[in-house]
Structure 1
Amino acid sequence: MNAHHRQFGEKLREWRKSKSLTLDQVASLSNLSKSTLSKLEGGQRSTALGNIERLDHLYEAGGELVRAWQESRERAADPPWLNLVRESEERATEIRNWHPYLLPGLLQTPRYAEILIGHGSPGENPDTVTALAKARCERLGQLRAEFRAVISESALRSIVGTPAIMREQLQHLLDLGSRTRVQVLPLGCGFFGGLTGSFRLLSFADRTPRVECEHAGGSVLVSDAAEVRRLTSVFSELSGWAYDFRTSSELIREVLHGFAVEEE
């Protein structure tokens, strides 16, 4: 059973029940068999767009079911590691992110993300790059988790694309809501435990914590307790060496102003 078909099926069932309709009633009104409807709600099969449009109209969903169907199809085509990461993000209650060289993916603006994705996939169709960047940037708003990030000062100062793109990106960091907090690790910091690579610590209400470690071809989720403890300690050290949230925001504003001056 495809996980995305199952999630879409659950949404279908919720909409049907919100209208107090039985499967028999929907079958009669939609001209779809009860068996087909049952399999759709159970995540055991997909169906054509026309059938989803019919159900969307019947349930007065305003296009929500069509959008969810399209998203489930797109996700089903994604690599397995990305689906695992997304599922973990969506279930997490807290995410703590460290990146030594770049701004974390969930905090990126579309133009910043497009540069990174495009350079990381030479020859990729520009429309695909744009769509991937948009999808990446939308993920933060879909999460219920508290998000904390420690980023290096060098990531703030390194120009990805143009100074204008960096100004937009740094302003985005300043505009993030209270559920997202950013600390900056200063240049010349005496702690080097995070230089080996980026990682994210994910905490859950109903399962043990995990660590997501990125690599050139994607990322891997690690549940080994010893490794989770080790990287939790590394993150705590990074957070301790970093500027506090207020000072970090002041530094981000300072760097943003510097990019504005460069283009004058």
Structure 2
Amino acid sequence: MAGFTQLQLSARSGTAHSSVNRWENGGSLPKRDNAERLDAALGANGELFTAWRRSTVGTGLPEWARDLDAIERGARQLSIAAPSLVPGYLQCEAYARFVFSAGQPLAVPEELDRLTKLRCERLNELPNLSVTAVFPLSALTGLPSAVVKQQARHLVEWVDTGRVVLHVVPTGSILIVPTSPVMLFRLRSGELVITSDYADGSVTLNSDTHERVSSLFTAALAASLPFDLSLAALKDLYA
């Protein structure tokens, strides 16, 4: 597909022609260092290496990337579709505290303070991560006026950093899919990791679900307003 002969690929990757022939014909799998060289030589942006890892260990994820914190720190781009709330990464303190108070009515104030701080500082702790988020405008409009204004202004401030792109689903439209928040992380290696939030925590999805879940994000994006109209809608909330 890259247009190279086996001799050209062996020269570009620093591997033996006989090895390239054997790998291409399914005689054996390359070792890790050779898989990395082949990926770089072919300009595969991590896709060939992911396929190699899946063939050798049964999953496209390295061990360090099976934990959400490590996934976040290893990612360069995040696409989020949230069906009912502003994504946690983008919540201001007033909004986050309102959400935690509703979800954990028995929590003491100190615990609410701790949870709010963790949530609101997370994106600042990930300076290399850019975010594209889709969520309904109704995620703001049903809250107290003061919270709505703070959250809307907070979102616009994130947009102004150049790290965040927002698309809101307008009032009157229904975001049918996804039914729970989904997060598509693109790692620096080029690998895709998808997680979804449920009542009992975040779950990392198997790679064989990626195509289907990615289509849910695409459907959510199609139901939303373009970026400039989304930004205008948010500014109207605190004008």
What range is the shorter-chain TM-score in? Answer: 0.5 to 0.7
**Aligned match of 1:133:** 116
**Aligned match of 1:117:** 100
**Aligned match of 1:236:** 218
**Aligned match of 1:96:** 79
Equivalent AA in structure 2 for residue 133 of structure 1: T
Does the residue aligned with 1:192 lie in a helix, a strand or coil? coil
C-alpha contact 2:136 2:175 (8 A) present in aligned 1: no
Change (3 A) 1:123 1:178: same
Pair 1:179-2:163 in alignment = yes
- How far did residue 206 of structure 1 move? 2.5
Cα shift readout 1:100-152 (whole Å, capped 9, x = no counterpart): 11100000011211121122222222112111111111111111111110011
Name structure 2 gaps, 5 residues minimum.
1-65
TM-score scaled to structure 1, two decimals? Answer: 0.61
Cα shift readout 1:186-241 (whole Å, capped 9, x = no counterpart): 234476332x221111111226312111111221111x223111111111222123
Aligned length: 171
Pair 1:145-2:129 in alignment = yes
- Whole-Å separation in 1 of the counterparts to 2:173 and 2:99: 26
Change (3 A) 1:190 1:111: closer
C-alpha contact 1:156 1:252 (8 A) present in aligned 2: no
- Whole-Å separation in 1 of the counterparts to 2:99 and 2:67: 22
- Cα root mean square deviation, aligned: 1.8
Give aligned-pair identity as a percent: 26
- Whole-Å separation in 1 of the counterparts to 2:141 and 2:203: 28
C-alpha contact 1:103 1:151 (8 A) present in aligned 2: yes
Pair 1:156-2:125 in alignment = no
| Runs of 4+ residues over 3 Å off in structure 1 | 187-191
Q: Whose relative contact order is higher, 1 or 2, with alpha carbons under 8 Å and at least 6 apart?
A: 2
- Whole-Å separation in 1 of the counterparts to 2:122 and 2:174: 33
TM-score scaled to structure 2, two decimals? Answer: 0.67
**Aligned match of 2:180:** 197
C-alpha contact 1:152 1:186 (8 A) present in aligned 2: yes
